[in-house]
Structure 1
Amino acid sequence: MRIGLFGTGRVATALGPALVAAGHALIFVAGRTPASALALAALAPGCVALSLPLAQALPPADLYLLAVPDAAVPNLLAAVAWPSGALVAHLAGALPVAVFAAQPQVRGGVLYPLQTFSPGRAINWPAVPLFVEAPDAAAEVQLLALAHSLSQHVARLDSAQRLRLHLGAVFASNFTNHVLGIAHQLLGEAGLSFDLLAPLVRETVDKALGAQLGPFAVQTGPAARHDTPTLAAHAAALVAHPAWQTLYTQLTQSIQAAEAATVARPLSPA
């Protein structure tokens, strides 16, 4: 496919070379910073760099991908003179496909990669789940074909399901990373290496992912044990970090509420 890519951030920087490696032609890269657009365009033979807002007509392409922040998508859609019938897809998890309704001249769709992207981290694209949505049947076929060229895990997903998936991903990835950051700082303040937690974190994640009844069923720790003295000692140790102290209390209450709900839930008949 001939693809035009809008965006030069983390997702675009990872996706652009992957598209080329999969055999697609990256026609242009458009970004607000000329230097970043040039750097990404240089990775694809014959690709040109464009600056936003566009000062020239949009180069023809089979697909235009919007790898830009969610909040920027509506303005970008309104600002570009799209060719009639152009296939345009965003890559956002929480943005509904209905965002394209204000631009009836385009065929809108979604190509959502369920992954975290960071500078310097290589992405194993065949293992990245890709989710496609498009009201137009022909657009869906094209997006599914593109997704299958990149990943071994491709599925259709509507906007409501994708929003719930994105919400779950924020809890599983972003919030987990933040809590690990708190642990990193707490250990650092005590002169301890963060590496000490690595075996525990790996076992926790492996156990949660493999739990037949879900992660709540394998919850451990002082909150699950209702270990009041330990909970009090931890809260006292967080006196220098009142926001984290509040978070600790809230998470403790959430764990205990989840445990109570699990215990109260009647067993399903065999």
Structure 2
Amino acid sequence: MAVAHLTDTTAPAYSLRVGLFGAGRVAGQLGPALVAAGHAVAFVWSRHAATAGALAAALPGAAVLPGLEAPLPPADVYLLAVPDAAVAPVLAAVAWPTGAVVAHLAGALPLGIFEAQPEVLGGVLYPLQTFSAGRAVDWASVPLCVEAADAGALNMLLVLARSLSDDVRLLASADRLRLHVAAVFANNFTNHLLGVADALMTEAGLPAALLAPLVRETVAKALATGSPFTVQTGPAARRDVPTLGAHQAVLAAHPAWLGIYNQLTASIQEVLPPAPGPAGK
């Protein structure tokens, strides 16, 4: 089957039946996105029946799969939008139809996780985005990383991915794992550091909104350059020992945050050579 880019008006429309395992943050946004792209969600399963029912009720025609031991409704592709640790148990618990196309959505799990279920055609449909309740995601801009060993399964996942996103990439497991590590630094660790900053502002009786222009410019500048390392500023970069010491004194009451501060300072100085002369902020 030729793979068509579904945003191309000359391409035929594909409507796939999707079985959705999971009803959490990812599935809760993926389900409506699939329907909006013209696909049908055949069923929703979750270990929490209430959340499965709530999501299925929002998806026209979707049933609730009562349990993993229940017979599977027919679908063109089954998506495992469950926590990473649940992928293998779900795979093992379901009586998959022979030749079923089954894909997980995890960044760090290899394609090899499907080897224990030779009856399925395994694949990956990894959305590189953070998902939170109450925040809508623009799926057209979300990079979708696809992988499958079987050509038919790969084509099926490419059709599905291209109906959701304008940025679809073939990515092998090893590269996807490296991408996932980078994403943790860019998203999870950054979010934690922003949380520490917010807590310090609250502790000082200062409005956290004061930091908003700085955060926006920091991210914009980092994205505008080929390497964020080259636009690093601050006391660590300029090896401002008195300022570093003053900061460390403020953080003495928070040993864990002081440890992060010292480790990041050391990492910045390891990456950046000493400046030849006085540097600006």
- Residue 260 of structure 1 aligns to a residue whose secondary structure is coil
Q: How does 1:162-177 map to 2 (within 5 A)?
A: 162-177=176-191
Q: Determine what percentage of the aligned residue pairs are the same residue.
A: 66
Q: Which residue of 1 aligns with 2:211?
A: 197
What amino acid is aligned across from residue 60 of structure 2 in structure 1?
Answer: P
Partner of 2:272: 259
Q: CA RMSD in A?
A: 1.3
Task: Report the equivalent of 1:62.
Answer: 76
Q: Does 1:41 align with 2:52?
A: no
| Alpha-carbon displacement from aligned partner over 1:9-49 (angstroms, at most 9, x marks no partner) | 10000100000010001000001111100000011111111
Partner of 1:26: 41
- In the alignment, the residues of structure 1 paired with residue 252 and residue 175 of structure 2 have an alpha-carbon distance, to the nearest angstrom, of 40
Which of 120, 125, 129 does residue 134 from structure 2 map onto? 120
Aligned to 1:241: 254
Unaligned runs of at least 5 residues, structure 2? 1-15, 277-281
Matched residue, 1:210: 224
Q: Higher helix share goes to which structure?
A: 1
Query: Which residue does 1:15 correspond to in 2?
Result: 30
Contact 1:33 1:51 in 2 (8 A): no
Structure 1 residue corresponding to 2:263, chosen from 233, 250, 255: 250
Q: Which has the higher contact order (CA 8 A, sep 6+)?
A: 2
Q: After TM superposition, give the deviation of residue 262 of structure 1 in Å.
A: 11
Correspondence for 1:267: none
- Provide the C-alpha distance between the structure 2 equivalents of 1:121 and 1:74, rounded to a whole number of angstroms: 29
Distance 1:187 1:70 in 2: 35
User: Contact (CA 8 Å) 2:239, 2:274: kept in 1 or not?
Assistant: no
Q: TM-score under structure 2 normalisation? A: 0.91
Matched, 1:154 2:161: no
Amino acid at match of 1:191: G
Tell me if structure 2 keeps the 8 A contact 1:32–1:51: no
Q: Unaligned 5+ residue runs, structure 1?
A: 264-270
For the 8 Å contact 2:238–2:274, the answer to whether it is kept is no
